[in-house]
Amino acid sequence: MAKRDYYEVLGVPKNASKDDIKKAYRKLAIQYHPDKNPGNKEAEDKFKEATEAYEILGDDQKKSAYDQFGFAGVDGMAGQGDFSQTFRGFEDIFGDFSGIFDTFFGGGGRRSSGSGGVRQGANLRYDIEIPFKDAVFGTKVEIQYTKNDACPTCKGTGAANGSGKKVCPVCQGSGQVRHSQGFFSVASPCHNCRGEGYIIEQPCRDCGGGGTQRKRQKIMVTIPAGVENGKRVAIPRQGDAGPGGGPPGDLYVFIRIKPHDYFERQDLDLYCAVPISITQAALGAEIHVSTLDGKNLKVKVPPGTPNGRLLRIRDEGVPSGTRRGSFWIKLLVRVPEKLSKRGRELLEEFSKTEGENDSPKPIALADMGEQ
C-alpha cells in the first residue's frame, strides 16, 4: 500500500504550528485509539499511521528532513524506534496509556525472557552527527543519555526486602482481562497489575515498586570505518532496564554524516575535483593533491587532458575490511578570465601557429567536455 503524506494523514497544512500538529494528532489518536475500537483493524491501522506521522512531524529535526526529502529523508526513523519512548513525554496529554502502547506496538520492549513473566526493557534511540572523515575512517564518540536503570535497593525486582510477588487477583496472572463486545470477547491489558500478571506485596520504597530509576550514563560508542549515512549502531543491553528485574533493552545509535566541503563518497570510492590550467591540461603536468587523511599525493596529469577527466588512485578510498576503495580526482580545466598583456600575445601566437576552425561541427551533448 502506498504511504500517505504525513501532513495529509494528520490533516494539517505544511505550515502548521507545532501546537496544531500536536492537536491534530491528539484528536486522531483519541478517535482511533485501540481502547475505543477493540478488534477494529481499520482503526488500528489509522492509529498507527497517525502515530508514525506524528513521530516525524512532532520532532523538529525529523520534520525538516521530511520537508526536504520526503519519506527518503526519514527512512527508518519512524516505527523502528521505541514507541513507549516517544510517548513517555506525552502522558500529560493522553494519560497513562503505557500498558496499551506496550501490547499494541509489541516492539523490542516486549520480548519475554521466559522466566516468571519478566519482560525486557525498552530499546532506546540516540542520534549523532559525525564529520565525513570520521565516517570514512571510523571513530569513537562518547555519548551521554538518560535511561531506566535497575533500582539498586531492590535489585530491580520492585519488591521491598524479603517480600514477594503474588498472582494478580483480577486477571489470575494472565495480565489480560476479557470484556464482551456484542458477539465478541476482547482482551485488553489488566489495569490492576498493568499487564504484568502479578503484584508486589510490599513495594520497594526507593522506586515505588517499578524496579527502575532514571540514571544518566556516559558510554563510548565505536563507529566502524565506512559507516553509511542513516545507519545505526546497536549497543546491546544499554537500553532501559526491564520492569520487575527483566533484562535491559538495547541502545541504537543512529548516525548522520556531515557533508564534507569538497570530498564526496559513493560506496567505497571517494571523489574530489581539482582545477588545472589550460596549459597544464594541454602540456601535461605533475600536481599535488591531498587525500582525505591528509596524505600529499603526486599526481600526473597526462598531456592533452580534456576537461572533466577522472584520474583513479587505487586504495585511497573508504576502508572496508582489508581492502579500500579508490580515490577519484576529477580534473576541471580552468580558462583564465583575465589575461596579462604577455599572456595574450603568447596565446595569439599559439592561435596563429595552430590555426583555428571557425566552422566547428556540432557533436553530441553527451560528449561535451567530460569523459
Please pick, from the candidates 136, 168, 253, 318, the single residue that binds Zn ion as defined by CB under 5 A: 168
For Zn ion, how many residues bind (rule: CB under 5 A)?
Answer: 12
The contact mask relative to Zn ion for 125-154 (x = CB under 5 A, - = no) is: --------------------------x-xx
CB-CB contact of 244 with 183 (8 Å): no
Closer residue to Zn ion, CB minimum distance, 29 or 171? 171
Alpha-carbon span 76 to 54, nearest angstrom: 14
Listed in sequence order, the DSSP H helices in 108-154 are 132-137
Which stretch of DSSP H or E encloses residue 41? helix 41-57
Nearest approach, Cβ of residue 112 and Zn ion (Å): 16
Q: In which residue are the cell numbers 483493524 written?
A: 41
Question: Which grid coordinates are listed for 195?
Answer: 499487564
Q: Does 301 bind Zn ion (CB under 5 A)?
A: no
Q: Does 160 bind Zn ion (CB under 5 A)?
A: no
Closer residue to Zn ion, CB minimum distance, 130 or 193? 193
Closer residue to Zn ion, CB minimum distance, 130 or 171? 171
Q: How many CA atoms lie within 13 A of 121 on its CB side?
A: 29
CB-CB contact of 356 with 348 (8 Å): no
Q: Does 170 bind Zn ion (CB under 5 A)?
A: yes
Q: Which of residues 179-198 bind Zn ion (CB under 5 A)?
A: 190, 192-193
Q: Does 65 bind Zn ion (CB under 5 A)?
A: no
CB-CB contact of 87 with 98 (8 Å): yes
CB proximity list for 183: less than 8 A, separation 6 or greater = none
Closer residue to Zn ion, CB minimum distance, 151 or 292? 151
Alpha-carbon span 322 to 108, nearest angstrom: 34
Q: Does 207 bind Zn ion (CB under 5 A)?
A: yes
Q: Does 206 bind Zn ion (CB under 5 A)?
A: yes
Nearest approach, Cβ of residue 153 and Zn ion (Å): 4
User: Side chain identity at 241, as an amino acid letter?
Assistant: A
Closer residue to Zn ion, CB minimum distance, 199 or 318? 199
Nearest approach, Cβ of residue 94 and Zn ion (Å): 21
Please state the length of the chain.
371
Nearest approach, Cβ of residue 95 and Zn ion (Å): 19
Nearest approach, Cβ of residue 167 and Zn ion (Å): 8
CA separation (Å) from 284 to 216, 271, 281, 289, 325?
60, 21, 6, 15, 26
Q: Measuring CA to CA, which residue among 280, 300, 303 is closest to residue 289?
A: 300
Closer residue to Zn ion, CB minimum distance, 153 or 188? 153
Q: Does 204 bind Zn ion (CB under 5 A)?
A: yes
Q: Does 171 bind Zn ion (CB under 5 A)?
A: yes
Alpha-carbon span 133 to 259, nearest angstrom: 9
3-class DSSP state of 271: strand
Nearest approach, Cβ of residue 107 and Zn ion (Å): 22
Residue ranges that bind Zn ion, judged by CB under 5 A: 151, 153-154, 168, 170-171, 190, 192-193, 204, 206-207
